[in-house]
């Protein structure tokens, strides 16, 4: 089932390793098929190096396994909670990428110091409070706190990103780590300058509607 989406989700996991966003078996990507509402997600505890499209697990929005030989990722219930509450979201990514997670460890959101952040996120990357892993608690906090952003830090834990597709969610995870890295270095040099809200809005509008090949 969903062979093309299985291939996509498997290859999107390779982007996480390519951009050094994950170690060992940490992190996961899922994507929803908008027609069937089924979700393709990473199997639990499988190494990225040996991951194949056939290893992906297909679940329904209630967490019933529809197809797959492996147990699903331990973050699956979080992903499914997001899909149930955000019909516009068809991709979810979770990483413990270093710089973003450093902000999560000290319980700080990442303010919008960079035009690249204004473009991609339309503002700061918000912070959700401490939650135990594996249940819907994280999903609830994400839905409450993420707002219009594509990324959120979970305190003491890591990064979750969302997108209209799996690829868009992976891009947001790459961009969030890049923004966190630059912001970290900027904070060592002095006090970074916040971008005015009206300029953030203009940058976001331009990037969303004008930038690139339309
Ligand atoms: Zn995690």
From first to last of the 214 residues of the chain, give the pLDDT tens digit.
999 999 999 999 999 999 999 999 999 999 999 999 999 999 999 999 999 999 999 999 999 999 999 999 999 999 999 999 999 999 999 999 999 999 999 999 999 999 999 999 999 999 999 999 877 899 999 999 999 999 999 999 999 999 999 999 999 999 999 999 999 999 999 999 999 999 999 999 999 998 887 6
> What CATH architecture does domain 3-209 belong to?
3-Layer(aba) Sandwich (3.40)
**DSSP class of residue 44?**
T
- Cα of 133 vs centre of ligand 1, distance in Å, is 7
**Which pLDDT value is given to residue 135?**
78
Extents of the domains making up the chain: 3-209
* Full strand arrangement of the beta sheet holding 91-95: 65-67, 57-59, 39-41, 28-32, 91-95, 158-163, 151-154, 127-128
Q: Compute the residue count for the chain.
A: 214
**Which pLDDT value is given to residue 133?**
84
Determine how many CB atoms are found less than 10 A away from the CB of residue 48.
Answer: 18
Distance of CA 94 to the CA centre of its chain: 5
- Cα of 46 vs centre of ligand 1, distance in Å, is 15
Which of 79, 210, 80, 93 is closest to 150 using CA atoms? Answer: 93
**Which pLDDT value is given to residue 210?**
86
**DSSP class of residue 54?**
G
Residues, beta carbon < 5 Å, ion ligand 1: 158
- Cα of 193 vs centre of ligand 1, distance in Å, is 31
- Cα of 209 vs centre of ligand 1, distance in Å, is 33
- Cα of 99 vs centre of ligand 1, distance in Å, is 14
Residue 44 and residue 56: Cα distance in Å, rounded? 10
- Cα of 158 vs centre of ligand 1, distance in Å, is 6
- Cα of 71 vs centre of ligand 1, distance in Å, is 17
Distances (CA, A) of 171 to 13, 62, 70, 88, 177: 12, 27, 27, 17, 10
**Which pLDDT value is given to residue 47?**
95
- Cα of 20 vs centre of ligand 1, distance in Å, is 15
Residues 164/62/77/128 CA torsion (nearest 10 deg): 60
- Cα of 43 vs centre of ligand 1, distance in Å, is 14
Distances (CA, A) of 63 to 87, 133, 139, 142, 152: 17, 16, 14, 18, 23
Distance of CA 195 to the CA centre of its chain: 24
Which of 103, 83, 81 is closest to 158 using CA atoms? Answer: 103
**Which pLDDT value is given to residue 212?**
83
- Cα of 141 vs centre of ligand 1, distance in Å, is 14
- Cα of 148 vs centre of ligand 1, distance in Å, is 22
pTM above 0.85, yes or no: yes
């Amino acid at each position: 089932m969903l062979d093309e989406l299985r291939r996509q989700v498997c290859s999107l996991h390779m982007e996480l390793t390519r951009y050094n966003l994950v170690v060992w078996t940490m992190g996961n990507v899922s994507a929803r098929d908008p027609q069937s509402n089924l979700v393709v997600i990473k199997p639990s505890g499988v190494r990225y190096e040996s991951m194949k499209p056939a290893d992906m697990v297909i679940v329904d929005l209630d967490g019933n396994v529809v197809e797959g030989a492996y147990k699903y990722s331990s973050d699956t219930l979080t992903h499914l909670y997001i899909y149930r509450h955000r019909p516009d979201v068809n991709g979810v990514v979770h990483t413990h990428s270093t710089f973003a997670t450093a902000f999560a460890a000290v319980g700080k959101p990442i303010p919008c110091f960079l035009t690249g952040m204004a473009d991609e996120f339309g503002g700061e990357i918000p912070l959700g409070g401490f939650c135990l892993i594996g249940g819907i608690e994280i999903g609830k906090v994400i839905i409450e706190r993420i707002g219009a952003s594509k990324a959120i830090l979970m305190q003491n834990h890591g990064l979750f990103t969302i997108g209209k597709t799996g690829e868009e969610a992976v891009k947001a995870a790459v961009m969030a780590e890049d923004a966190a890295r630059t912001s970290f270095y900027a904070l060592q040099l002095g006090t970074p300058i916040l971008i005015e809200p009206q300029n953030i809005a203009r940058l976001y509008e331009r990037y969303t509607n004008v930038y690139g090949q339309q």
